[in-house]
Structure 1
Amino acid sequence: MKHGRAPLPQARPAPAPMDPSGRVVQSLGVKLRSAVALHQQGQLDQAEVLYKEILQAQPRHFDALQLLATMAVQRNHAAEAIVLFELALKIHPANASVLSNRGSALLKLNRPQEALDSCDRALLVRPDYAEALSNRGAALRALNRHAEALDSYDRALRLRPAYAQALNNRGAALQDLNRHAEALENFGRALQVQPDHAEAHVNEALCRLILGDFAGGWAKYEWRWKKEPGLSAARNFSQPLWLGKEQLQGKTILLHAEQGLGDTLQFCRYVRQVAALGARVVLEVQPALKTLLQDL
């Protein structure tokens, strides 16, 4: 909810190699283009192999370093990303893209002040960098400086009015300030720009639930499975998901814990209501709650 994925930087021409024949340049250049194409297609494992082959041949290859770091952010391997961004910054200390994406990675590690500093460094190099302004807003939100975060998002949107992630983040900042109607408007604008923006759908769901719109809020909340880290937590059962429409008489249903212990304790009270619909209920909870809930 705080920030978006790091944007994929554009690869620059490969640095000149030591081999005067030029064959290494061609080899690394072709390999980099292939890696970037795979990266953009979401084939991260294959792209990673090529980036690492480039770095094995040329450890100070700036583009391979920053692109591999960006991939690490996308995979939520923030600590690994920081190491790679630092190596890239030793080559180009004033690269705005690396500094901004480093800020995003630091935020994932719960280091918001360092993230803010990194984004500010990026903006010193490139004041009109919308992504850095959006990442800066996320860092300010994490520091509970919500009004300043809102200003940072506004600056980003003046540069790029149709920037879905900044619109989503601006909505989250407005929600922090209890300006829920305005927050809903921003989530809606983000979804007009990018209809499959899972984070904006989930944020809208939470906002609607706060406002008491339970029908709209719970329906929207199904988008959580398409949002990181929801993707990694999804349970891929062969049986269909029950959303309350099909009859359960004479059927077996698995109700499983999904989030924290508090959520399990909050919602386990519905187990008996599902059983009352005629279902045989199998309840799966976290090990720490098994004794407490085994008679439910």
Structure 2
Amino acid sequence: MLAQADALLRAGRFQEAQGAFRQALAQDPPSLDARLGLSQACLGAGDVALATAWLSDACRLAPRRPEPLVRLAELLLGQQQFAQALPLYQRLYHDIGARDRATLLHYGFCLEQVGEVEEAIVLYREAVGREPGFVEAQVDLAGVLWRVGDYQGALAHAQAAVALAPDHPYAVRILGTALLNLGRLDEAETVLRRALVLKPDLALAQVDLAFTLLLAGRMPEGWDWYEKRWNDTARLQRPVYWRAGYEWQGPQQPLAGRSILVYGEQGLGDQVQFARYLPLLQALGATVLAALRPELLPLVERSFPGVRGVTATSDVQADLHVALLDLPQRLRTTLDSIPSPAPYLHPPAERLAHWQHRLSAWPQRLRVGLAWAGFAAHVNDRNRSLPLSLFRPLLESQQVQCFSLQKSAAGAYRDMAPAPGRLLDLTAEWTDCSDSAAMLRQLDLVITVDSAVAHLAGAVGTPVWLLLPPNPDFRWLLDRADSPWYRGMRLFRRNFGESRQDQVARVLQALQDRLAA
């Protein structure tokens, strides 16, 4: 019966094959081959859930056999269920002793996806050590080293990958990424364009080229390439109501008398930064609907009268729609035409009054808000977040009253516990962004890493001192201490090779200079 089932499977007759494998299983209940065959037949028929169930049963039946573990792990990996695939690769590696190239690479990839970057590096290094000519391992190692600040190591392994396979588009792309992260923009552009000659639809190279151009201030072309981020469907998904024919293409497509739905994407900081574009659509005659983060919508509606916040569901009705971060491209934004560098988000008067009263107990001290960590899952978080202990002199200053602006678990006091009263945390009193914006307005200064706090403080007009990693996000450009996006923002860039301690020391010295003035 197994032979007949296998023949049906090879012939692509998946439903019949399932029946035959079930008969084989009835004749031999402990059969591992029948379970593996059933899983393949289910996959062929498009039933991923049932295939997963049969492979799980095969792993239960033969816990030390590599084949069912490998098949189940690869199936879960293909479904981007990294947390579920990870323990299977751990069993393959630690219990069974698998050291083949696929296990090392896939195990490392799962670790990387769940945030265990240092452990992933160990696996990739082992793969390269066992087989230096393994191009994909060199590529993956180069692609992760920069995340822990080893920019030169990333470059070296990217160069090794290209030396092994000069026409490998992913190797060429990762070399471009390494150069981008080192700020070598001209070289990065050349290499990334070559990657796109080799593989024109390589979305990662398209986006990296966009970042390269935008960092260089070449906005019109940069925004054009940035729109291609939607080609990376593994990382970014259009909303359920998206239809190609309804996507607004720019002012050449009249908006007068029409409704347009602007759908948010990515992080809260992105939505705060680019919300400034909503009134430009109103000026073109549109009725604007905004599907943004729920906690941001009340502040946006208050700041831009006539903009209506909506829930992003398939029931939303509008004549046209457009992605929020595509508006700079549609409106042909340049460095000289960035809209609303002045405060453009305005908290309600009653919230401002509440927070003015709430913070009135420290009239003689400089009121400084502090955010030292960003969203931990962000790809560049290890380079941008800072230990709270570096700010100890600030927390101990009698001329300053510090307020924590860390709303998430990233703000846990992992490396030091501030003395009572030296770092006040009022974030539990925030109900939405109107509260946080109103509190930020009452501060004299915000010192922050690159996070949503920086954008919200800048958007309400509070002075911001922003600490940037050596490889900043595209919006912060290079080689300047101010930002065209926010008036009153001062950038403190960490140079390559400079320690975090030295970067923070420069910030603290600037604060001392301000206090002494």
Calculate the TM-score normalised by the size of structure 2. Answer: 0.48
Q: Is the 8 A contact 1:96 1:123 kept in 2?
A: no
1:68 aligned partner: 72
Name stretches of at least 5 consecutive residues in structure 2 with no aligned partner. 1-27, 305-517
- Mapped partners of 1:259, 1:237: distance in 2: 16
- Mapped partners of 1:224, 1:159: distance in 2: 28
The DSSP-based 3-state class of the residue aligned with 1:255 is strand
- One-letter amino acid matched to 2:264: A
Tell me: CA distance 1:32–1:153, structure 2 relative to 1, closer, same or farther (3 Å): farther
- One-letter amino acid matched to 1:262: G
- Is 1:149 paired with 2:143? no
Aligned residues: 272
Q: Is the 8 A contact 1:32 1:64 kept in 2?
A: no
- Mapped partners of 2:301, 2:106: distance in 1: 46
Q: Is the 8 A contact 1:190 1:200 kept in 2?
A: yes
Q: Is the 8 A contact 2:39 2:50 kept in 1?
A: no
2:249 aligned partner: 243
- Is 1:209 paired with 2:214? yes
Tell me: CA distance 1:249–1:233, structure 2 relative to 1, closer, same or farther (3 Å): closer
2:165 aligned partner: 160
Q: Indicate which of 87, 90, 107 corresponds to 2:112.
A: 107
- Mapped partners of 1:26, 1:268: distance in 2: 57
Q: Is the 8 A contact 1:96 1:122 kept in 2?
A: yes
* Shift, 1:84, TM fit: 1.1
> What is the CA RMSD across the aligned residues, in angstroms?
2.9
Tell me: CA distance 1:290–1:236, structure 2 relative to 1, closer, same or farther (3 Å): closer
- One-letter amino acid matched to 1:169: I
* Residues 171-250 of structure 1: pairs in structure 2 closer than 5 A: 171-232=176-237, 234-238=239-243, 240-244=246-250, 245-250=252-257
Name stretches of at least 5 consecutive residues in structure 1 with no aligned partner. 1-20
- Mapped partners of 1:32, 1:163: distance in 2: 34
- One-letter amino acid matched to 1:87: R
Q: Is the 8 A contact 2:36 2:58 kept in 1?
A: no
Calculate the TM-score normalised by the size of structure 1. Answer: 0.80
* Shift, 1:107, TM fit: 1.5
- Is 1:267 paired with 2:274? yes
Q: Is the 8 A contact 1:249 1:278 kept in 2?
A: yes
Deviates more, 1:87-96 or 1:275-284: 87-96
Q: Is the 8 A contact 2:35 2:55 kept in 1?
A: no
Q: Is the 8 A contact 2:169 2:198 kept in 1?
A: yes
Deviates more, 1:230-239 or 1:113-122: 230-239
* Shift, 1:229, TM fit: 4.7
| 1:49-107 deviations in Å (ceiling 9; x for gaps) | 56445435544342332343234334433222221111222223322321122112212
* Shift, 1:162, TM fit: 2.2
* Residues 47-126 of structure 1: pairs in structure 2 closer than 5 A: 48=52, 51-52=55-56, 54-55=58-59, 57-89=61-93, 90-126=95-131
Tell me: CA distance 1:60–1:196, structure 2 relative to 1, closer, same or farther (3 Å): farther
Of structures 1 and 2, the larger Rg is shown by 2
Structure with bigger strand share is 2
The DSSP-based 3-state class of the residue aligned with 2:295 is helix
The DSSP-based 3-state class of the residue aligned with 1:283 is strand
Deviates more, 1:268-277 or 1:85-94: 85-94
Q: Is the 8 A contact 1:32 1:54 kept in 2?
A: no
- One-letter amino acid matched to 1:248: L
- One-letter amino acid matched to 1:270: Y
* Shift, 1:251, TM fit: 0.8
Tell me: CA distance 1:71–1:249, structure 2 relative to 1, closer, same or farther (3 Å): same
The DSSP-based 3-state class of the residue aligned with 1:281 is strand
- Mapped partners of 1:77, 1:270: distance in 2: 36
2:133 aligned partner: 128
The DSSP-based 3-state class of the residue aligned with 1:212 is coil
Structure with bigger helix share is 1
* Shift, 1:234, TM fit: 4.0
Percent pairwise identity: 28
| 1:144-196 deviations in Å (ceiling 9; x for gaps) | 11111111112122222222222222211111110112112222222222222
Q: Is the 8 A contact 1:205 1:217 kept in 2?
A: yes
